[in-house]
Structure 1
């Protein structure tokens, strides 16, 4: 959606001297279909979900990164961040924190109020991850090792035990 967000992301990657590939393709929102378009395995997709910690005080947010062939386990995520309950953030909150609409959020947090949490299985299973580049019609392929060098996610199991697809 946001060409500004895409430009910021690609500038960030380029300024850190990592190799990446940007793909332009037809707009698609389903993990299985976009993986086919990208020529990748569904599990290589770094699905980025903005979640809201439900507490009485100041709202807190988490950017949960899970493989595209899995589902987020909200209970495990809540335990990992020391919260009682977590839900998906509103569309307005997602945009305010990422400058992207849901479904286009890359697995990077550039906002101080958005804590990055990732399931380690994504990086253990694949040498390269794929993700939306702030738009449904653009994707980025990036080495898992480079992603982990650029980010400091809290790595903890946050997925449901059985994959969504094979």
Structure 2
């Protein structure tokens, strides 16, 4: 996944930097290692519809926010949506949980991004298919390359 992602970014003339770091298990620690804010982290969560296990969605939101499953279900639309089990996420994305980048390289996985992630920062940061490597990517380049659907999917506080 890392090589596929990097090849895509280079082929599309994306403005990005690659950061190698120790594997970290939470958003705060990895943001500190990257030198970014927690909210810049593009948290990618593979979800699937309860009524159709083949309906997969990669929900991407700021690292300091929580996913509102009801809003995500309305965006699809479907009745109910949950996180995909870890083994399904690994099988479908080629990445372990926590390393999934905010890109869908599969026509079977719909990509939905919360607009707040894109509005808050000029760059987003994410694990690049590996827990020990991150990419900090220009936000405009991300939207141009990933072409996500945009819906407000975060819990409002």
What's the TM-score once normalised by structure 2's chain length?
Answer: 0.97
Aligned partner (choices 41, 63, 69) of residue 68 of structure 1: 63
Match of 1:136 in 2: 131
Quote the offset at 1:58 in angstroms: 5.6
Match of 2:42 among 46, 59, 84: 46
Give structure 1 stretches of 5+ with no counterpart: none
Residues 85 and 18 from structure 1, CA distance in 2 versus in 1: closer, same or farther, beyond 3 angstroms? same
Alpha-carbon distance in 1 for matches of 2:21, 2:53: 39
* CA-based RMSD: 0.9
Give distance in 2, aligned partners of 1:61 and 1:30. Answer: 24
| Partner in structure 2 of residue 117 of structure 1 | 112
User: What is the aligned residue count?
Assistant: 157
Name the CA distance, whole Å, in 2 between partners of 1:38 and 1:90: 28
- Residue in 2 that maps onto 1:153: 148
Distance of 1:84 and 1:78 partners within structure 2: 6
1:133 match: secondary structure: strand
TM-score if structure 1 supplies the norm length?
A: 0.92
Q: Which of 31, 43, 53 is matched with 1:35 structurally? A: 31
Q: C-alpha offsets along residues 108-134 of structure 1, whole Å, 9 cap, x if unaligned?
A: 000111000000000100000000011
How far apart in 2 are the matches of 1:58 and 1:104? Answer: 22
Aligned to 2:129, the other structure's residue is in SS state coil
Does residue 15 (structure 1) correspond to residue 11 (structure 2)? The answer is yes
Matches of 1:29 and 1:114, distance apart in 2? 25
Runs of 4+ in 1 over 6 A off after TM superposition: none
Partner residue, 1:81: 76
Distance 1:53 1:90 in 2: 12
Give the corresponding residue for 1:103.
98
